[in-house]
Amino acid sequence: MEETDLKDIVDDVEYLASEKDNGMILNILIGNHPADIAEIVRNLSKENRKYVFGLLDADTASEVLMQMDEVTREELVSQLHYDRLSEIVDEMPSDDATDFVAELPEELAERVLESIDREDSAEVKELLRHEEDTAGGIMALEFVAVSEDETVDEAISEIRAKAEETDAVYNVYVVDKDGVLVGVLPLNTLILAKPGEKVKRIMDTKLVSVPTDMDQEQVANLFRRYDLVSVPVVDHEGKLIGRITIDDIVDVMQEEASEDIQKMAGLTEEEAIRETSAMRISMLRLPWLLVAFVGEMLSALVLSKFEASLKEVFIAAFFIPLMMAMGGNSGIQASTIVVRGLALGELNPADTLQRLFKEMRVSLINGAVCGILLWAVVSFLGEPRFGTILGIVMLIVILNASLVGASVPLILNRFGVDPAIATGPFITTFNDVIGLFIYLGLVTVVRGFI
pLDDT of residue 222: 92
pLDDT of residue 273: 47
Domains identified in the chain and CATH numbers: 3-132 (1.25.60.10), 145-262 (3.10.580.10), 278-449 (1.10.357.20)
Q: What are phi and psi of 235, to 5 degrees?
A: -85, -175
Task: Report, as an integer, the average pLDDT of 219-224.
Answer: 91
Query: pLDDT category, 363, cuts 50, 70, 90?
Result: confident
If one compares 2 and 89, the residue with the highest pLDDT of the two is 89
**Helix-then-strand count for the chain, H and E:** 22, 6
- pLDDT tens digits, 192-207: 999 999 999 999 999 9
Q: For 31-40, 136-145, 147-156, 355-364, which range has the lowest pLDDT when averaged over its residues?
A: 355-364
SS3 185: strand
pLDDT surpasses 60 at 144: yes
Q: Can you spell out the DSSP letters for 88-146?
A: HHHTS-HHHHHHHHHHS-HHHHHHHHHHS-HHHHHHHHHHHTS-TTBHHHH-BS---EE
The model's pTM is 0.63
Query: pLDDT category, 342, cuts 50, 70, 90?
Result: confident
Residue 333, Cβ density class (10 Å: 0-12 exposed, 13-18 middle, ≥19 buried)? middle
Task: Report, as an integer, the average pLDDT of 95-112.
Answer: 90
If one compares 247 and 304, the residue with the highest pLDDT of the two is 247
Q: Are 333 and 428 in contact (CB under 8 A)?
A: no
Q: For 261-265, 348-352, 355-359, which range has the lowest pLDDT when averaged over its residues?
A: 261-265
pLDDT of residue 281: 56
Query: CA dihedral in degrees (115, 120, 123, 124; nearest 10)?
Result: -50
The Cα-based distances of 38 to 16, 20, 194, 200, 446 in angstroms read 17, 20, 45, 44, 66
